[in-house]
């Protein structure tokens, strides 16, 4: 093989590598930066859920077109940050990267409620149920744990 042929092969390999890298970059950009949410959506992420399960949950809800793209984002720009659990309200026209950042930052749904000092546990449960904060089972678990309600 002559030097000229070797240079041509190296140039061809470099060109192919650049094309593949460019295509991968375009795919990643399209997967994370193109809005996918066509209406407001609420997602409930369970406490202790691993990031892979959360990414699959977002994909199943039609928010994240590619779990692989989400994983690459978590391993790259979001490296070292943890996804947070809670209830998230995803606005219409959200991009997948915005939703991932929302979950990384823990921007959960906020609830307005008033609990007056001296209220009985059943009265507090009614306030929480009216605000759709917790269901009856969740409240029963809290009230049943004496460590959590020692000051009530």
pLDDT tens per residue across span 42-79: 999 999 999 999 999 999 999 999 999 999 999 999 99
Average pLDDT, stretch 102-130? 87
Both tokens of 27, joined, read 């795919």
Q: What share of the chain in percent tops pLDDT 70? A: 94
What is the reported pLDDT for 79? 93
- What is the spatial distance between Cα 109 and Cα 43, in angstroms, rounded to a whole number? 10
- What is the spatial distance between Cα 93 and Cα 38, in angstroms, rounded to a whole number? 6
What is the reported pLDDT for 93? 92
What is the reported pLDDT for 128? 81
- What is the spatial distance between Cα 9 and Cα 144, in angstroms, rounded to a whole number? 72
Both tokens of 4, joined, read 């000229």
Residue from 118, 115, 81 nearest 100 by CA: 81
- What is the spatial distance between Cα 134 and Cα 2, in angstroms, rounded to a whole number? 75
Q: How confident is the model at residue 104 (pLDDT cuts 50, 70, 90)?
A: very high
- Is 49:90 a contact under the CB 8 Å cutoff? no
On average, the pLDDT of the chain sits at: 88
**pLDDT above 80 for 135:** no
What is the reported pLDDT for 85? 93
**pLDDT above 60 for 152:** no
């Amino acid at each position: 093989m002559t030097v000229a042929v070797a240079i041509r092969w190296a140039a061809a390999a470099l060109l192919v590598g650049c094309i593949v890298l460019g295509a991968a970059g375009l795919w990643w950009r399209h997967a994370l930066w193109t809005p996918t949410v066509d209406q407001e959506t609420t997602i409930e992420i369970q406490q202790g859920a691993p990031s892979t399960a959360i990414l699959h949950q977002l994909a199943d809800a039609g928010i994240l077109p590619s779990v692989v793209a989400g994983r690459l984002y978590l391993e790259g720009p979001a490296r070292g940050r943890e996804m947070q659990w809670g209830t998230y309200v995803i606005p219409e026209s959200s991009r997948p990267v915005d939703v991932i950042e929302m979950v990384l930052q823990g921007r959960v749904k906020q609830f307005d409620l008033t609990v007056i000092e001296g209220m009985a546990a059943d009265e507090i449960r009614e306030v929480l149920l009216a605000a759709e904060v917790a269901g009856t089972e969740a409240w029963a678990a809290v009230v049943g744990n004496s460590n959590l309600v020692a000051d009530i």
